[in-house]
Structure 1
Amino acid sequence: MKVHNLSRTNSILNHFLHEIRDENIQKDRMRFRRNIERIGEVMSYEMSKSLEFESKTFKTPLDNSVFNEIKNNLVVCSILRAGVPLHNGVLNYFDEVDSAFVSAFRKKSENLDAEEDFEIIVEYLSSPSLEGKSLVLVDPMLATGLSMLNVLKALEKLGTPRSIHIISVIGAQPGVDLIDDYLPENTHLWIGAIDDKLDEKGYIIPGLGDAGDLAYGKKL
């Protein structure tokens, strides 16, 4: 897997990352969602440089001209619910691609004394065929990596993608290492920042908290 850690390059992306992490600024839900969306736009631009293009001719009001069109048949899949703003950011740049949606959540252990124990449950899945296409899987937080692997396993029945691109805002090194062990070499990870560790509950440290709650409010 090829990792593109965009925080290593000075760009406007780092400003958006600061605003979603800052505990005072992130309390503005609309601003938080918009910043996630803008991060998705920046990452889409960076990802587009790695895609395949072919030359096409078109007509202007005065003469013929040529442009390079993306050849990849993209399917953008987001993990509900936190992935929706990031999904929208990607669609702002790849506006005619197909979309897929999948739900994945942590089911806590029945042992109330073991808050760190959980399993990832995948329930809802809506997607076109992925056979021979370029799958763009978007999820703001790449923490343990288990959600990503479970979602990819659920998508296997829909066909084998030609390539896989993962777009995440913030990840933890243990989660990045985990998916690197399982995913094909032609997989690309586009990520805003990689933090060093997880806490005992599987949250990224320093991270930003719960992206879904910050975007849409706390859930039961």
Structure 2
Amino acid sequence: MGDRWRSYVLGGACAAFVVIPTVGPLLGKGEQTRRYDTVITPPDYAFVVWAPIFAGSALATGNQLLPGNRARPVSRRTGWPLAGAFATNALWSLAAQGDRFALTPFLLPVATAFAAVAHARQQRLPAPAGWAAATPASTGLLLGWTALASAVNVAAGAKLAGARESVAASVAGVLGVAGAVTAGVAASRRGRLPLALASGWGLLTTALYPRRPRGVRIAAAAGAAAIAAAARR
């Protein structure tokens, strides 16, 4: 019964995670992120990364929902934290669409923490086979992107609260997140490449964005290089 309820909650949370940010713009209530641009926000085209995140998450969730897979170790160990990550990301989207952007710096780090728990738990499990491999892959993508996005949201929240945007502080934030992701990639046995790809993509596109300060672009390039080196080990 516990496996069944967990799968129900996971399925509902994943559905909200995918549908809310997809349907919102069609109804004229898209996320108002452009209003709170920062010096470390990646360019618009970088956000295409959500397509593989959504697709991978839906595939992994669908696999866990199958009756024969509900009791598998990967489902039991990752189901609840992934449900938390999906639900909190959905709340983030609702806040961004409702112009309650002041809430996003608190929501996204929580979503990242849930994804980090799911990712960490998979490191101690046997290598997944077949469609079960979608779970570590999609979790890595989600964690890699939201870790970087959390720093951007914190910077946007500070700016919204009236704080003066500091390039030096932004550079420190970029390097801090890149260092944490690099350590996570180096320590991972499962999902390390998707984790590296998601964060590396965000950092690389920021490094190539001419509208960002030179110091931020250099820090982003250095972070992307460090993550790539860790992924190749």
TM-score (norm 2): 0.30
More strand by share: 1
TM-score w.r.t. structure 1 length?
A: 0.31
Greater per-residue helix proportion: 2
